[in-house]
Amino acid sequence: MKKHKNRGFTLIELLVVIAIIGILSSVVLASLNTARGKGSNAAVKSNLNNVRAQAELWYDTKLGTYLGVCAAVATAGGIKTGVDAAGVAGGAAAACFDAAGAWAASAPLKVAEGASAYWCVDSTGQSKGEAAQVATTVCT
């Protein structure tokens, strides 16, 4: 006589498969959060790099002065709009300082990159991470 074996999964096998799927999904979700943070940081950097180009146009238009560059909102894509957009992408207020011969702007990064919690750009061409928000017309 042949015995018929029940075909199917036991409860233990089913629980092991569910546990494995749970572990794999938690790894994927952690990676997605990291990628989302890096994407937000890229948006902050991009907005501030656009501000640099706008500031140079301001300098050329105003006959060699950066004075007023932080308040310039002449168009929808104005400098102030770009600085504010960088701050929004970073999740807090951005800072901008200007003088006749120089300017600097910084915004918080969404996710800190090492010791850098802020991204700073200035009129000397610097674009780098900073531990603190800019407080003068040049990135430190």
The ranges assigned to domains in the chain are 11-130
Which residues, 6 or more positions from 13, have their beta carbon under 8 angstroms from its beta carbon? none
Amino acid at 60: D
Write down the residue that tokens 């990064």 correspond to.
Answer: 109
DSSP state for residue 5 in the 8-state scheme: P
pLDDT at 13: 93
Q: What is the pLDDT of residue 91?
A: 79
pLDDT at residue number 17: 95
**Which residue ranges of the chain lie beneath pLDDT 50?**
none
- DSSP-assigned beta bridge partners for residue 128: 120
